[in-house]
Amino acid sequence: MFDLDGKVALVTGAGQGVGAGISRVLAAQGAAVAVNDLHEDRAQATVAAIESAGGSALAVVFDVADPSAAARGIETAEKALGPLGILVNNAGVPAGMGVQQFRESDPAEWRKYIDLNLYGVMNCCHAAINGMCERGWGRIITISSGAGAIGINLGISAYGAGKGGAMGFMRHLAMETAGNGVTANTIAVGMIDNHADPSVAGHMAKTVPVGRLGQPEDIAGLCTYLASDEASWMTGQTIHLNGGNVTT
């Protein structure tokens, strides 16, 4: 089950964290993976990890928030690896992301969140979708957050707006592409153990019913299912994956 042999995937923001974990697991299941990031060194590190495990990968450096760069990046990936079947929109944390209450915020700051979390997703989908529909097979997976579905914390309204916008976009994209064999689903991720210092991580873990923060591989498992042939009847859904701290 969930054999991705012969499939080509592109994962955005895959130089570290959740995207790197998704890339490693998709490659382990047989996909050739285009590893996107803004930072070449990070993308190359994920490629090296995949190759050292016997998988196939290519670094493709571009900014998902730039529509022309996204189109060129997907074209580069397809020339090198073959037609894209799986797109994972994972890039979503702007550089220097901080906590700022809306009434004290500057419009230039919010735009970074919308550009990355909403337009970034739309740019990559727009560049990939026609080829997938023409070939009659595609899997689009967007990594969102519980913060796009419920009020979760103070100071992250612009992030929540971007994530919620992407969820709404994906539901409607799914309706447009279902007849062409292309599914579109969203994973709303909870707190992942990839940055916080151990004392902060320990405190955060106490708020998660299963008693731990998520690992990138927790997300990668569901992503692999959504990317597979077996998931052809699953589309237009937002699936919360968070150890139980957001239930819907």
Q: Which residues of the shown chain bind ligand NAD in the complex (CB under 6 A)?
A: 12-13, 15-19, 36-39, 42, 63-65, 90-93, 116, 120, 143, 145, 189, 191-192, 194
User: Shortest distance, CB of residue 35 to ligand NAD, whole angstroms?
Assistant: 10
Positions marked catalytic: 159
> Which is closer to ligand NAD, CB of 181 or CB of 221?
221
| Minimum CB distance to ligand NAD smaller for 235 or for 242 | 242
Closest approach of ligand NAD to the CB of residue 233, in Å: 25
Q: Rounded to the nearest whole angstrom, what is the least distance from the CB of residue 42 to ligand NAD in the complex? A: 5
CB closer to ligand NAD, 6 vs 244: 244
Three-class HEC string of the chain = CCCCCCCEEEECCCCCHHHHHHHHHHHHCCCEEEEEECCHHHHHHHHHHHHHCCCEEEEEECCCCCHHHHHHHHHHHHHHHCCCCEEEECCCCCCCCCCCCHHHCCHHHHHHHHHHHHHHHHHHHHHHHHHHHHHCCEEEEEEEEHHHCCCCCCCCHHHHHHHHHHHHHHHHHHHHHHHHCEEEEEEEECCECCCCCHHHHHHHHCCCCCCCCECHHHHHHHHHHHCCHHHCCCCCCEEEECCCCCCC
